[in-house]
Structure 1
Amino acid sequence: MSEWRIYRGVREPHDGIDRLPDPPPWRDFELSGEVTPFDRHADALGDRRLPRADAYKAEERTIEAVNTALYLRRPLLVTGDPGVGKSTLAYAVARELKLGAVLRWSINSKTALRDGLYQYDSLGRLEDAGVARELRGPTNGGPQVGERGDVVAEDVAAAPASEEAHSTDLGRYLRLGPLGTALAPYALPRVLLIDEIDKSDIDLPNDLLDVFEEGMFEIPELSRVADKQSEVRVRPADHGARITVVHGTVRCHTFPFVVLTSNGEREFPPAFLRRCVRLHLPAVDDDERLRTIVRAHLPTAAEDADEVISKFLSHAASGELATDQLLNAVYLVSRTARDGAPSLDRLTALVFQHLNVTVPTES
């Protein structure tokens, strides 16, 4: 096995990530200070995507692209038709390299950068401040409310120590998003899946540039009080150990392994593309590769798959299909021994409906 390969595209997890060399100088984010631990075996918690990751078979060019992204500490932009395994790749890498649970950020047209970075419960903090004020009775002070409704200062002089700690613990009202968690100071890279970025608002790819380039971001709600609370422990997106944010800034220790998927519904700006390693996964269109996929996912049904694969290729010649449609059809055919089951032709007609054809609505 080549020593260059950190990710090998094999089914058995290993510690190859420990051999990843130092990053190039322009991608070196390592900082002194506290490193946040995470559970490298968290994928054993029953994520429904894990069976597909376990059966994922990476081709040579996929393995090369993943390793290039790992070495260069750059995001991997994966394009291709629906169902070719773009998202599954992130889970396969996380499982093989034992990098814990995948941090998944699903994108839609309303998604903004902050949605991926963090959430701040300003209303919850206002409510808690009001309760604390009622408990300690009338005072000359009280919470000072900023323009956006967040509490910027409080008079806690008359409050008992427990109430004061409760009202000033900003970490209780903050939670990092998937992107924000991936950029926390972990010793090893976390795996971040940014799914279907082509569905985003036109500004999001450009908004990501600075975060990807600098490996850090600021939380203004913490920066404003950094002189009084220089360190705040906040919750991550995956319910792991709390992350210490120093002076309101989250800084990565090592750049995460980022997989961005796109179905090719839009083009991206050159400034965004040059910061990514790009990989295109073509549609699977030969029977041997399809047999391999079926054997990996449905080993007990694979013997009956040849005729289904033949029909899949025939249907795919006249329109767009996804490989998960083939798996659905093979699964159904393996159940056709029961009374009243549709014929093979009827089953494949039901399942192999082209993705690029609009289904007419009934009047």
Structure 2
Amino acid sequence: MSQWPVYTGTAAPHDHVDALPAPPPWRAFDGGPPLEPPAGDEEAGSPDLAHRARTYQATPEAVDLVNAALFLRRPLLVTGPPGSGKSSLAYAVARELRLGPVLRWNITSRATLQDGLYRYDPLARLHAARSAAVRTAAPSSEAPADGSPDADGDEALQDHLRLGPLGTALLPYRRPRALLIDEIDKSDLDLPNDLLNVLEEGRYEIPELVRAARHTPRARVMVDGDAERVTVRGGAVRCRSFPFVVLTSNGEREFPPAFLRRCVSLRLRRPDGDRLERIVRAHLGAPDDYARGLIATFLGRSDAGELATDQLLNAIYLTGAAGLTGPSRDALAARLMPYLGNGPGADDDER
């Protein structure tokens, strides 16, 4: 029996993702045979990510829209200023729902769709083939440089191809994987449109393996973030459980309507005083009087320019850990909370 909400925002891990109802008919996927997701935690051994996942303070709006994305099998587009917890949300959801290690794709202006799907190095393959030919004195065993299949080169092809984070997330896992596509607004203008078909269809092809399928219908390929290999049949990958996809944006650009309508959109807003105190309590314990004063100062300053919550956390932690008192403590706290960008308060900070 399904239940709402599956993600509760309480940070207590559970298996309720198994209670998700069947997807809408237009979002049903039939990839297979099913794969078990890899064992391991969502933070993949990073104490920083583990802490962020445990301490994330989800708003009621965030809880609702995360569940909407899970139920509808749609990507979640999370917009907000730097330091508002956009990427931490992916780790918090993965931890609570036990989705395993988060797959992360950090976007740059040079990122392409293929970077997210898979990486193939034909030059490394050619070099390996030539080295093997020299060792065995059999030049005829060299693999062609264009990546086409040959009688002896299909295994070498698999050894030089690795699925990217998006390509790995779309494997036919029995449970959804968590995928963070970070700072999508930094991408080339074409990337959001290029993502449309892949995220809509939940499938993609690897041309190099499609060409090799006549000789090698099943290829064992490496995946992102794991030493294991998975089987790809006929060069095509289709998901079974649509991944929980979080795309983050700092709101620096507009996205095409066709892209936006395929996403569930969440805007993270500036936290109020009560939520700031909960955030501080989750990270650093109960705030003392001085920390509460810094929270009030932070709130007052945020009306004049852009600030990030982690600046407040840095100020509270350091002014306490350094053991300072009086004006020196106040001066250090102020220096740790400068305005970001060219906001109306930036000039004041420079004086």
TM norm. shorter chain > 0.5 = yes
CA 1:64–1:138 in 2, change beyond 3 Å: closer, same or farther?
closer
Show the counterpart of 1:159. Answer: none
Matches within 5 A, 1:334-353: 334-338=320-324, 343-353=328-338
**1:42 shift after superposition:** 5.3
Show the counterpart of 2:5. Answer: 5
Are residue 251 (structure 1) and residue 238 (structure 2) matched? Answer: yes
Are residue 312 (structure 1) and residue 311 (structure 2) matched? Answer: no
Once residues 303 and 112 of structure 1 are traced to their aligned partners in structure 2, the CA distance between those partners, rounded to angstroms, is: 50
**1:301 shift after superposition:** 5.1
- Aligned residue type for 1:72: L
Q: Which moved more, 1:169-178 or 1:8-17?
A: 169-178
Q: Which moved more, 1:78-87 or 1:44-53?
A: 44-53
Q: 1:121·1:173 contact (CA, 8 Å) conserved in 2?
A: yes
SS at match of 2:247: strand
Show the counterpart of 1:161. Answer: none
- Aligned residue type for 1:98: R
**1:357 shift after superposition:** 2.1
Once residues 7 and 153 of structure 1 are traced to their aligned partners in structure 2, the CA distance between those partners, rounded to angstroms, is: 46
- Aligned residue type for 1:49: L
TM-score normalised by length of structure 2 = 0.92
Once residues 75 and 89 of structure 1 are traced to their aligned partners in structure 2, the CA distance between those partners, rounded to angstroms, is: 13
Matches within 5 A, 1:100-119: 100-119=100-119
Q: 2:77·2:264 contact (CA, 8 Å) conserved in 1?
A: yes
Matches within 5 A, 1:321-336: 321-336=307-322
SS at match of 1:327: helix
Once residues 337 and 29 of structure 1 are traced to their aligned partners in structure 2, the CA distance between those partners, rounded to angstroms, is: 57
SS at match of 2:226: coil
Q: 1:194·1:258 contact (CA, 8 Å) conserved in 2?
A: yes
SS at match of 1:232: strand
**1:278 shift after superposition:** 0.5
Are residue 267 (structure 1) and residue 267 (structure 2) matched? Answer: no
Once residues 43 and 276 of structure 1 are traced to their aligned partners in structure 2, the CA distance between those partners, rounded to angstroms, is: 25
Show the counterpart of 2:276. Answer: 290
Once residues 331 and 320 of structure 1 are traced to their aligned partners in structure 2, the CA distance between those partners, rounded to angstroms, is: 21
Q: Which moved more, 1:28-37 or 1:14-23?
A: 28-37
Listed one character per residue, the Cα deviations across residues 291-337 of structure 1 (whole Å, up to 9, x for unaligned) are 11100000165554111111111211211001111101101121242
Q: How many residues matched?
A: 345
CA 1:288–1:176 in 2, change beyond 3 Å: closer, same or farther?
same
Once residues 83 and 324 of structure 1 are traced to their aligned partners in structure 2, the CA distance between those partners, rounded to angstroms, is: 6
SS at match of 1:61: helix
CA 1:89–1:138 in 2, change beyond 3 Å: closer, same or farther?
closer
**1:6 shift after superposition:** 0.5
Once residues 157 and 148 of structure 2 are traced to their aligned partners in structure 1, the CA distance between those partners, rounded to angstroms, is: 11
- Aligned residue type for 1:259: V
Are residue 150 (structure 1) and residue 150 (structure 2) matched? Answer: no
Show the counterpart of 2:210. Answer: 223
Once residues 155 and 23 of structure 1 are traced to their aligned partners in structure 2, the CA distance between those partners, rounded to angstroms, is: 43
TM-score normalised by length of structure 1 = 0.89
Q: 1:37·1:241 contact (CA, 8 Å) conserved in 2?
A: no
Are residue 355 (structure 1) and residue 310 (structure 2) matched? Answer: no
Q: 2:165 aligns with which of 172, 178, 194?
A: 178
Once residues 303 and 231 of structure 1 are traced to their aligned partners in structure 2, the CA distance between those partners, rounded to angstroms, is: 64
Over aligned residue pairs, what C-alpha RMSD do you find? 2.2
CA 1:302–1:178 in 2, change beyond 3 Å: closer, same or farther?
farther
SS at match of 1:243: strand
Show the counterpart of 1:25. Answer: 25
Q: What are the ranges of 5 or more consecutive residues in structure 2 without an aligned counterpart? A: none
Q: Percent identity?
A: 52
Show the counterpart of 1:64. Answer: 64
Show the counterpart of 1:198. Answer: 185
**1:205 shift after superposition:** 0.2
Listed one character per residue, the Cα deviations across residues 182-226 of structure 1 (whole Å, up to 9, x for unaligned) are 111111000000011011100000000010011111111111110
**1:77 shift after superposition:** 0.3
Q: 2:113·2:195 contact (CA, 8 Å) conserved in 1?
A: yes
SS at match of 2:204: strand
Q: What are the ranges of 5 or more consecutive residues in structure 1 without an aligned counterpart? A: 157-163
SS at match of 2:172: coil
Q: 1:179·1:192 contact (CA, 8 Å) conserved in 2?
A: yes
Q: Which moved more, 1:297-306 or 1:103-112?
A: 297-306
**1:108 shift after superposition:** 1.2
Q: 1:143·1:151 contact (CA, 8 Å) conserved in 2?
A: no
Q: 2:316·2:333 contact (CA, 8 Å) conserved in 1?
A: no
Q: 2:193·2:259 contact (CA, 8 Å) conserved in 1?
A: yes
